[in-house]
Structure 1
């Protein structure tokens, strides 16, 4: 378990072409709040010393919308992969802190899951969030030897045997600042996509003898990303159902549990009703 200070990097540079909107993808709202704000809130709840927001498309609008004192704005002018995005933020990493990597379009990641991931990170190693899917098509596969994580192979680079692996990478990980900077400096784009994959650092860590510990989220919805409006609508329904369940179990009356703005809004309405 790591007792180091921690900073968070949120990748939010994607344009979101499949949203068919001029609005940056991460500013589309879920339960009345931009997706990326949900992620920023989670980072703040974890006690992050700093939040590095890697942006590209729609930077001016992002700055106008998000008002956080501890946000460090990091420009990724060209989108050349997740590893490239992290390379832009690397100059801001302290050697003696942990760096948690999150995504602005994965809005339902829970603080509880991230706390478990942070606690599981071994000294000098990597904590990695993974899930098992019945159909893992398109996702990076987790490779193991004798039960130990040894690497991640992206779908387009995977062999037929590797494509049978059901455990996949969610993209969320935590590593030490000094180690992460060293690994990021070694990344190449020698792959089918011609991009710099952050996933390549897993094999680097393994080759150096560092342990990689995999942790699973409590719910699959926590690691589901949004690429189109249908996925956003589905995640909003999941969020509403989860919040409704919490409120109902706490004794709050909801006329329609399937539709309300947020848990805070519903709780406030409940407190107002209790006054009369």
Structure 2
């Protein structure tokens, strides 16, 4: 059976106290909505529909950037979850299959849970996702009779016996498209808010003699983000899970609680991550590498057997080949470092291509920006760049070439050539003593010393 994914993302999120739509607040460097889309993507849906309202254009752009084929529909007035799902009717008019409804502020529903819901739909018209709550509070209760879901009771309407039930409603539902919209047509706004509730379809389905069930998941999967405190809690949950998964895959985290990961971080086995390393979006680290303490990585690829840091920064477009060495206080941006090459100390390499087995001396800078445009630096294989060399791009250094320390290189250097670009040293005998005496005298006068 084919599946369509509907994600409700229209709410403002007043408790976030933000001008930004709630679903665009981030955990692990991705909006909550993207986490929900990735969860639903595990079902390989034939169609994805996002219901947006507050901040529609921002939400739409985020969705399209992530999945250009997704459909974004507008819910101008937020009249409840049932009303929100009904906004998808036209987008799913020609779709024949199951529709699963997720929430853009609930990022942790697992692929395994969704697969169990799909399996349960084979014998039921409607499948609801529930969880056993440690503190049920004011959640709606799922009243079961064996495998059958008899009803959903809101806390305010529940009897003392029903309030004692700890199996609670997450709001996530699955139903066949034609039955879903047929049931929604019968929903009435009989509540204090005057809204159309998606949960009402359970009672309507039961009245029509249709089978309904509930699938249970871990409570943590249903965490909804409604405040900054919830956002911080969700970040902690994500990081704890992601770190554990990496260690299970054979990655060493020397001090796990200090390593921050992104939603798309990929790290190969036998890699060692030292304390206080930050992984921004778009980082792939191959096997057998070492990322030393206090390094910051984003948008980069590190091939096997390499070493990075401590205190290194790899920015978007950094591509490290196998067995490269990037040392302390080095920044790499939009540059390729060839196999076996070293940039070990206090250097900036940007908009550049460095060949194999090349050594970049301490304090080297590729001067890539003229105030308007960026320019490229090319350095060949087995080159040696002396310490404190300024490479003024565009410039090319040949294979096996060398630059003298302290040089400012503005012209191409041929293969195997030595480039020296600095003023001749001149020594003035005794002048240092005279200058010191003059300076000391000026300081005494300034400080009023006789």
TM-score normalised to structure 1 length:
0.92
1:125 aligns with 2:94: no
Once the two structures are superposed, the pairs formed by residues 44-123 of structure 1 within 5 Å of their partners are: 44-66=41-63, 67=65, 68-93=67-92, 94=94, 96-123=96-123
Equivalent residue number for residue 353 of structure 2? none
Runs of 4+ in 1 over 4 A off after TM superposition: none
CA contact (8 A) 1:95 1:176 kept: no
Equivalent residue number for residue 269 of structure 1? 285
Cα distance in 1 for partners of 2:75, 2:193 equals 18
Which of 12, 18, 22 in structure 2 is aligned with 1:21?
18
Deviations for 1:162-220, whole angstroms, at most 9, x for unmatched residues? 32221111011110011011000111111233211111101111122222121112x32
**Structure 1 counterpart SS, 2:23:** helix
Which range moved further: 202-211 or 221-230? 202-211
Aligned length: 272
For residues 148 and 265 of structure 1, do their structure 2 counterparts lie closer, same or farther at Cα, with a shift above 3 Å needed? closer
Cα distance in 1 for partners of 2:161, 2:183 equals 27
User: Offset at 1:122?
Assistant: 3.2
Cα distance in 2 for partners of 1:14, 1:35 equals 13
**Structure 1 counterpart SS, 2:135:** coil
For residues 264 and 135 of structure 1, do their structure 2 counterparts lie closer, same or farther at Cα, with a shift above 3 Å needed? closer
Q: Which ranges of structure 1 fall in alignment gaps of 5 or more residues?
A: none
**Structure 2 counterpart SS, 1:172:** strand
Cα distance in 1 for partners of 2:194, 2:153 equals 14
Equivalent residue number for residue 235 of structure 2? 236
Greater RCO (Cα-Cα under 8 Å, separation 6 or more)? 1
CA contact (8 A) 1:129 1:214 kept: yes
Q: More helix per residue: 1 or 2?
A: 1
**Structure 1 counterpart SS, 2:89:** helix
For residues 247 and 145 of structure 1, do their structure 2 counterparts lie closer, same or farther at Cα, with a shift above 3 Å needed? closer
Deviations for 1:207-246, whole angstroms, at most 9, x for unmatched residues? 22222121112x3211110000111111111111111111
Once the two structures are superposed, the pairs formed by residues 145-160 of structure 1 within 5 Å of their partners are: 145=145, 148-160=148-160
**Structure 1 counterpart SS, 2:44:** coil
Cα distance in 2 for partners of 1:237, 1:190 equals 39
User: Offset at 1:263?
Assistant: 6.2
Equivalent residue number for residue 30 of structure 1? 27
Deviations for 1:70-89, whole angstroms, at most 9, x for unmatched residues? 21111111111111111111
Q: More strand per residue: 1 or 2?
A: 2
Equivalent residue number for residue 214 of structure 2? 214
Deviations for 1:113-150, whole angstroms, at most 9, x for unmatched residues? 11111111134511211111232122111123465211
- Give the superposed CA RMSD: 1.8
Larger radius of gyration: 2
Equivalent residue number for residue 327 of structure 2? none
CA contact (8 A) 1:109 1:223 kept: yes
